[in-house]
Amino acid sequence: MVGMVAVLCYHKVGEEQAEGRWINVSPQTLASHIEFFQRRNYKVVPAASLAGKLPERSICLTFDDAYESTLANGLPVLEKLAVPAAFYAVSEYVGKDSGWDGEKAATLAGWDELKRAQKAGIEIGNHTHSHLDLSKLNQDEQVAQIEKCSWLMRERGLNPETFCIPFGKYNKETSAAIEQAGFGVGFTVEKRWAKESDDRRLLPRFAMSYGDNMPALLYKLFIRPKMLMGR
């Protein structure tokens, strides 16, 4: 697809018995997704590269919240297959748990784990300081959330290049807030391919789930979008 990119949104990576199915994929499923595209000569591109002209036949791998399981089980898959990715960390919760998940809260990676991932070639991106719903905040409040996360990350040797919107929720001020906070690329979740005309600070992503085996992945990325376009 010319000038279109499938941005895939993952969260936890682990076996079902350890992580359950909710917002989780197994390491084997993650590997199968990547290998499917590699066999078809798709490029796996870094998130930061989407600031410019969108490349042809490409996918981008993003992982929200920087769960400990993602670094333990997902990073080895990415290293083995030699592909770039971005893990999005929430600065207030690094090394704690995902309190916004309620009863399903899971352990998040610590600063040292994030630095090791960055050293391995993973971008550690900005996912705000507190994982708040940006659609309920004004522009100044959104900027403050993004800038505080960036400051804390850089204090610890991390270099966030792109931004990810918590819950995928935003309002009419969010794009400007992301730009004001210094980011040219930001992601939401809208179940479609990113296209050349999209606001680079509000790029859509496909959320990946435990049930996304190859037939489900093909339906989600290739069949369903065409069906929706035909309505």
Span 102-114, pLDDT tens digits: 999 999 999 999 9
Torsion of CA 213, 215, 219, 221, to 10 degrees: 60
Instruction: State which amino acid sits at residue 210.
Output: Y
Q: What fold is seen in the domain 4-213?
A: TIM Barrel (3.20.20)
What does the block give as tokens for 175? Answer: 């794009």
What pLDDT is recorded for position 225?
Answer: 81
What pLDDT is recorded for position 21?
Answer: 96
d(CA 134, CA 122): 25
d(CA 217, CA 40): 15
d(CA 66, CA 75): 11
What pLDDT is recorded for position 229?
Answer: 60
What pLDDT is recorded for position 57?
Answer: 93
What are the Cα distances from residue 183, in Å, to 5, 90, 143, 159?
19, 16, 11, 12
What pLDDT is recorded for position 16?
Answer: 96
Quick one: what percent of the chain has pLDDT higher than 70? 97
What pLDDT is recorded for position 11?
Answer: 98
d(CA 73, CA 14): 6
Q: What is the mean pLDDT of the chain?
A: 96
Residues of the chain with pLDDT under 70: 1-2, 228-231
What pLDDT is recorded for position 114?
Answer: 98
DSSP secondary structure code for residue 134 in this structure: G
